[in-house]
Structure 1
């Protein structure tokens, strides 16, 4: 561990252990915290698979990654999390390339979008942020299970704190609010993590499920912010946001810290978890509701048609 980081009590990218020989798959890694996490993992020796929707943007990301870490092993995998057909195709392609996977980071997401639906008719935010990652994880999990120390890290948000799941209206067909739907999807990310960890423990698997959130990271997710927030952001943004590079640290800690354990949740250590260095943080009582976790799992199985090997 980096001596300076240890002395200050701050975990930084310098604390990421050597990743040589490991295969890391990161969804939405062409930009934002996904790209920053990929850059660190590639520089530490991992083979990093950028699972992204847009080939052109992914190609640009690959170029930037190899420029920042000459000799880095990086790959592109086309994945559209708003389409179950694309998810199945991507999973099959990934399984064909790699017999074992050490790390899956469920990072991609959409935020505060006007109401629309995925290719399969799911509300876009819930369908992409939760159901898309649920399906993709289920389809590739058997590549992680034999690998000692393998992890599934799912990115949630401070927004989960206001999240509620209406099991009678998961697709927001009766009533839609863009902020409410986002919060529900981020709550679902945590509930999925905790239920997956329970099932992994029951199966005595080598894999652990963890979660992280970036705090107030300045990324492209903010493009759907209300006009007033976009107007005020140049003045007040620096007070409540941090760089994507700093925002990626909770992800990296959950993914690589040898002392991190299943069902742990990492976020910034600053006031309100908005900014700072990564530490273990808590989540709402709703996220720990075991009956709701199991119900969400069963609903997700039915909606996606994907089964899990645990």
Structure 2
């Protein structure tokens, strides 16, 4: 129903400016990440595109500069499937950047064949959740010093198709790629809720979102029948630019200043699944994430 209602809403737009703001966007070399970079660069922000493939990243950086008319765009190496790369990236940001006002945890992998990250995590939970969990943790002090600041994590409606399997988080006993994807997107929603609680009163707010069904590179791992179906429904899907709108909304909409921990779709608050509101599971996931990433379980106070 929410989706149908939102079809009849007028398109969101905002003239909000971001001069003197610094933004980090993961996976910014393609799809909605790149479109988010273009939009926020047009608003005057300094954009740091965090990309795994530097060759593609540099090509995308040129595109962002050309499309936005802003030269204030950097491309930096970040592989979310490798904690060493995440630590190096965060160290460079903490050293070189006096502030970080907006972090967009956008990168993701979707329904890929079974594989593991450099740290031994199943690839989808590893990149989509653990990678962004670690990155956020390492940047949080800088973000807090830059308040008011926002942390946006791109989830998906797929979060509602699954529950967290904390006993087999890495799908070692059995692997269903759709279920693993769904679990990683649910982890994004729970992480956002947990983060909001821990950041209360700091001036840092958090948001998770469903970008819509977007035509992106993420479709590359879909099997042939599913791809054929997606092709048939493609007239009803969103372009990358349309898909980026809710990320942009969560990054700049002034009315969200006092909101934190919520889930959004079509540039409006949306209902997440019951599993996405389970604070007991959210706490267990937080504790497990800290343990698996060898982080002291700070409450970020």
TM-score under structure 1 length normalisation: 0.91
What do the CA deviations read for 1:14-70 (whole angstroms, capped 9, x no partner)? 415101110010000000001001100001100000011010010001100111122
Distance 1:164 1:56 in 2: 37
Distance 1:194 1:262 in 2: 8
The alpha carbon displacement at 1:206 in A equals 1.2
What do the CA deviations read for 1:155-196 (whole angstroms, capped 9, x no partner)? 100100112111110010001000000000000000000000
Distance 2:286 2:31 in 1: 28
The alpha carbon displacement at 1:148 in A equals 2.8
1:102–1:147 CA contact under 8 A, matched in 2: yes
Give the secondary-structure state (helix, strand or coil) at the position aligned to 2:145. Answer: coil
The alpha carbon displacement at 1:198 in A equals 0.6
**Counterpart position of 2:177:** 178
Is the counterpart of residue 143 in structure 1 residue 142 in structure 2? Answer: yes
Distance 1:93 1:66 in 2: 22
Distance 1:168 1:235 in 2: 38
Distance 1:232 1:186 in 2: 22
What is the root-mean-square deviation in Å for CA atoms of aligned residues?
1.3
Distance 1:125 1:176 in 2: 11
1:43–1:72 CA contact under 8 A, matched in 2: no
Is the counterpart of residue 152 in structure 1 residue 151 in structure 2? Answer: yes
Is the counterpart of residue 301 in structure 1 residue 301 in structure 2? Answer: no
Give the secondary-structure state (helix, strand or coil) at the position aligned to 2:73. Answer: strand
Task: Say which is worse superposed, 288-297 or 229-238, in terms of deviation.
Answer: 229-238
What do the CA deviations read for 1:224-283 (whole angstroms, capped 9, x no partner)? 1121122233332212x1101000011111111011111122112xxxxxxxxx211010
1:28–1:34 CA contact under 8 A, matched in 2: yes
Distance 2:146 2:9 in 1: 30
TM-score under structure 2 length normalisation: 0.93
Give the secondary-structure state (helix, strand or coil) at the position aligned to 1:234. Answer: helix
2:50–2:76 CA contact under 8 A, matched in 1: yes
2:107–2:128 CA contact under 8 A, matched in 1: yes
Distance 2:113 2:213 in 1: 21
**Counterpart position of 2:10:** 10
Distance 2:45 2:114 in 1: 38
2:192–2:262 CA contact under 8 A, matched in 1: no
Distance 1:166 1:70 in 2: 46
Give the secondary-structure state (helix, strand or coil) at the position aligned to 1:15. Answer: coil
Give the secondary-structure state (helix, strand or coil) at the position aligned to 2:152. Answer: strand
Give the secondary-structure state (helix, strand or coil) at the position aligned to 1:76. Answer: strand
The count of aligned residue pairs is 290
Task: Say which is worse superposed, 103-112 or 279-288, in terms of deviation.
Answer: 279-288
From 218, 225, 228, the counterpart of 2:225: 228
Give the secondary-structure state (helix, strand or coil) at the position aligned to 1:36. Answer: helix
Q: Map of 1:21-60 to 2, 5 A cutoff?
A: 21-60=20-59
Distance 1:61 1:171 in 2: 32
What do the CA deviations read for 1:72-101 (whole angstroms, capped 9, x no partner)? 310111100000111000100111121210
Gaps of 5+ in 2: 1-7
**Counterpart position of 1:258:** 254
